[in-house]
């Protein structure tokens, strides 16, 4: 069963958790191209959170080209992890900037090289078996 979980005690805002969770499921291939997502009201009710938070997360992922609103089908996944051409140059740059920012955060937070390596390996294993 495809599940999405959030933690209310996490310092990460709920909206960011939703976006990251859905991105993670798409990246892992759990959510594939053409899969339907639940309506905003349903997901908000199940998680007991504000409708607008879910709507904003869907909108952000739609703007990023991962989701789309289709008449009669609701919100569907349009991104796919299997691309023959590979990422575009600007997409690659955006990803590199994101990774660099995460490494900076790790360094500032005082994580050791070994800890960072273990996190990186865990994430690599999660997505590239």
Chain positions contacting other proteins, by CB under 8 A: 1-9, 25, 31, 36-39, 41-52, 74
Nearer to other proteins, 80 or 97 (CB): 80
Nearer to other proteins, 7 or 84 (CB): 7
CB of 22 to other proteins, least distance (A): 8
Is residue 35 within 8 A of residue 77, CB to CB? The reply is yes
CA-wise closest residue to 78 among 26, 33, 30: 33
CB of 108 to other proteins, least distance (A): 27
SS3 30: coil
Cα–Cα distances (Å) from 120 to 39, 56, 86, 92, 126, in that order, read: 34, 29, 21, 18, 10
Nearer to other proteins, 49 or 66 (CB): 49
């Amino acid at each position: 069963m495809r599940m999405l979980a959030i933690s209310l005690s996490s310092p990460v805002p709920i909206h960011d958790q939703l976006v990251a969770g859905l991105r993670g499921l798409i990246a892992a291939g759990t959510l594939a191209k053409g899969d339907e997502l639940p309506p905003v009201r349903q997901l908000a009710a199940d998680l007991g959170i504000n409708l607008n938070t879910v709507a904003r997360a869907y909108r952000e992922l739609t703007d990023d080209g991962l989701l789309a609103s289709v008449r009669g089908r609701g919100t569907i996944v349009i991104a796919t992890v299997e691309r023959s051409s590979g990422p575009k140059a600007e997409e690659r740059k955006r990803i590199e900037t994101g990774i660099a920012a995460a490494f900076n955060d790790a360094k500032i937070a005082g994580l050791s090289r070994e800890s960072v390596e273990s996190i990186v390996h865990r994430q690599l294993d999660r997505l590239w078996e």
